[in-house]
Amino acid sequence: MTRSVYVTGIDRGDGRQVVELGVMELLTRQVDRVGVFRPLVHHSPDRLFELLRARYRLSQDPATVYGMDYHEASALQAERGTDELVSTLVDRFHVVARDYDVVLVLGTDYADTQLPDELSLNARLANEFGASVIPVVGGRKQSAESVLAETRNAYRAYEGLGCDVLAMVTNRVARADRDEIAQRLGSRLPVPCYVVPDEPALSAPTISQIAQSLDAKVLLGDDSGLARDALGFVFGGAMLPNFLTALTPGCLVVTPGDRADLVVGSLAAHSAGTPPIAGLLLTLDERPGDEVLTLAARLAPGTPVLSVPGYSFPTAEQLFSLEGKLSAVTPRKAETALGLFERYVETGDLLKRVSAPNSDRVTPMMFEHKLLEQARSNMRRIVLPEGTEPRVLHAAEVLLRRNVCDLTLLGPVDRIRKQAADLGIDLGETQLIDPATSELRDAFAEQYAGLRAHKGVTVELAYDVVSDVNYFGTLMVQEGLADGMVSGSVHSTAATIRPAFEIIKTNPDADIVSSVFFMCLADRVLVYGDCAVNPDPNAEQLADIAIQSATTAERFGVEPRIAMLSYSTGTSGSGADVDKVREATELVRTRRPDLKIEGPIQYDAAVEPSVAATKLPESEVAGQATVLIFPDLNTGNNTYKAVQRSANAIAVGPVLQGLRKPVNDLSRGALVQDIVNTVAITAIQAQSPTLSPASPAPFPSEKATAQ
């Protein structure tokens, strides 16, 4: 039977979209086929469903998502009664339920619905759907006592109407009251109650939403700038020196369009990062001259400048009535929402209470979810040497909003800040270090000179070498100031991993450094090795690659069944290439008799059960291999790229293995999600019991504000 989760509320303004998004994230971690049903909708397409469809790559027909609109429901209830309304909605729900393992039901929103006793309607629908309920109570601008009373009353209301209440969520409470409310509710309710504080960034409208609501003209700005959140409003009227002191990070400057001094001054402040603003809104239908707009575009590329015809006061009234919304066009808000949900909701416990059926399939999305969850479980610090690269900054924003790990960015600090400001990215308390000016440079030079003295490296030469961001980042990892490093989006593989070979060196248990790719296919994850580092490994090295790859696979939840690939299966072929694979297979069996391994074996016999049944019917690996070891780099690199392109697989990697501490390389064509995944993998590698978390000793720490 389909297991369904019904997220509902007791009134409007509870911000339950955060909970609906968070529950969807949980469900897609566990099962492949998750459906969505909204019994009543104001208009189609629904904003939240469009976000879920885009984010979770849902294939569900939108026509099946909605039961009916509110006007139709109100008319049906008035004419034929509540029983007929419920019966119709139940029939439409089951159209979805029969095709999915789990259904997420999005309850009514209590906004202009013209339906009497909406809470009872939600409770009855949940019962008729066979769904468990997660009621959400809004606590914005309420006292702690009021929030406590409303939450207890909401539980009693749904429980009293026969609902299976999974948990309660009290949302948007004042941060100062959050811990007290959580403690008191924990002792007064028989189900878990998760208390989530208010997050201003979620209710802040984006510049794009402001432009749309005010029907403003966009004079300047790109898509990234228009996606920024307006965290506050500063109205310009004072002279420039006084006005600049009023600016706050993320504010929207509202000023008459003829105040060119305030326009240029605001953008100059943004360019300097003191502070970065969200954009400008010019009133009175006035706009600066072309020469001022040209200067503005050069001062702060991408920063939006809007124009409206009205006066500042009526414009202000409209602005203060706007509230940000989660939607498919606000992906950064979605990351903030998920980060908030995952921080304050015990997701593991909630997922157990949902008791959705475990899927035998492991989809790319499920694998990515697991990476972030595992990295978050024991946070590590990862250093990113390419701190001025836009893709790296966007990835850093995702990692920070999702609380995946702590980060250090390397590069000229002013350039990092300016680039982040231009992209509308808030780096928060992220550590920023410029290797060229860092107080660590002298100590790192002495350290590197000592390591490379046998190569004739002097302290003077080392002083120049360690100013390179990759060498500096590697030394941070070596000296325990970071737990791992990820680079390569703008550097070659050699530039990324050469410092690791020189400084970190190989693990005593490994003969060589090698790599794997996690190949996320439609229904499973395979591990390919070595596709990036060793051109033509001998039998000993190939055996080492196989053992390392099996260990890596197991660490990331893939049961290792090793296929040692060749153009021949079993004893059917001979020759130097086949003999190398055969010898490597026997070496693995000798060194690690606990591992399941087959070789030599052809690719089709390794992964396709029907072929395996013919060629190696008695093998416990053939047809179900999960770790595929290629005989050389030429074969491995071409195969992973062919599978990636022809099967639309997601290739995560290369993940380096065999180093004492984790350093990983990116493709120079890496997308933001690729960087996020690789950083998460690096953080997980750093969680190994043999590796201690980063600490400031033996060198002094550096703060973002000081470097």
Q: For 318-374, what is each residue's pLDDT tens digit?
A: 888 888 888 887 888 888 899 899 999 998 888 888 765 555 567 777 788 888 888
Give the chain's radius of gyration (CA, Å). 29
pLDDT for residue 477 is more than 90:
yes
Residues of the chain with CATH 3.40.1390.20: 205-320
Give the per-residue pLDDT at 30: 79
Neighbours of 494 (CB within 10 A): 10
pLDDT for residue 77 is more than 70:
yes
Distance CA 706, CA 494 (A): 32
Max CA distance (Å), the chain: 92
Residues of the chain with CATH 3.40.50.300: 3-201
Give the per-residue pLDDT at 699: 42
Burial of 607 (0-12, 13-18, 19+ CB in 10 A): buried
Of the candidates 470, 434, 435, 466, the one whose C-alpha atom is nearest the C-alpha of residue 449 is 466
Cis preceding-peptide flag for 654 (omega within 30 of 0)? yes
Contact assessment for residue 372 and residue 402, using Cβ atoms and an 8 Å cutoff: yes
Average pLDDT over residues 202-218: 90
Give the per-residue pLDDT at 563: 93
Distance CA 293, CA 193 (A): 52
Residues of the chain with CATH 3.40.50.10750: 514-658
Distance CA 484, CA 403 (A): 16
Q: Kindly report the CATH class assigned to 205-320.
A: alpha beta
Is 22 strand, coil or helix?
Answer: helix
Residue 200 carries which DSSP code?
A: H
Alpha-carbon distances, residue 460 vs 204, 399, 427, 457, 502 (angstroms) = 51, 37, 34, 8, 18
Contact assessment for residue 308 and residue 282, using Cβ atoms and an 8 Å cutoff: yes
φ/ψ (deg, to 5) at 574: -145, 170
pLDDT tier, 630 (very low <50, low <70, confident <90, very high otherwise): very high
Give the per-residue pLDDT at 1: 40
pLDDT for residue 698 is more than 50:
no
Distance CA 679, CA 589 (A): 33
pLDDT for residue 701 is more than 50:
no
pLDDT for residue 74 is more than 50:
yes
Residues of the chain with CATH 3.40.50.10950: 361-505+665-707
Q: Which CATH superfamily is domain 514-658 in?
A: Isocitrate/Isopropylmalate dehydrogenase-like (3.40.50.10750)
For 570-597, letters b (16+ CB in 10 Å) and e give beebeeebbebbbbbbebbeeebeebbb
Give the per-residue pLDDT at 625: 92
Name the fold adopted by 3-201. Answer: Rossmann fold (3.40.50)
pLDDT tier, 524 (very low <50, low <70, confident <90, very high otherwise): confident
Two tokens at 62?
């939108």
Q: Kindly report the CATH class assigned to 361-505+665-707.
A: alpha beta
For 511-549, letters b (16+ CB in 10 Å) and e give bbbbbbbbbbbeebbbbbbbbbbbeebebebbbbbbbbb
DSSP string, 98-164: TT-SEEEEE----SS---SSHHHHHHHHHHHHTEEEEEEEE-TT--HHHHHHHHHHHHHHHHHTT--
Comparing 102-116, 162-176, 515-529, 602-616, which segment has the lowest mean pLDDT? 102-116
Contact assessment for residue 119 and residue 157, using Cβ atoms and an 8 Å cutoff: yes
The reported pTM is 0.80
Average pLDDT over residues 407-430: 87
Distance CA 419, CA 73 (A): 50
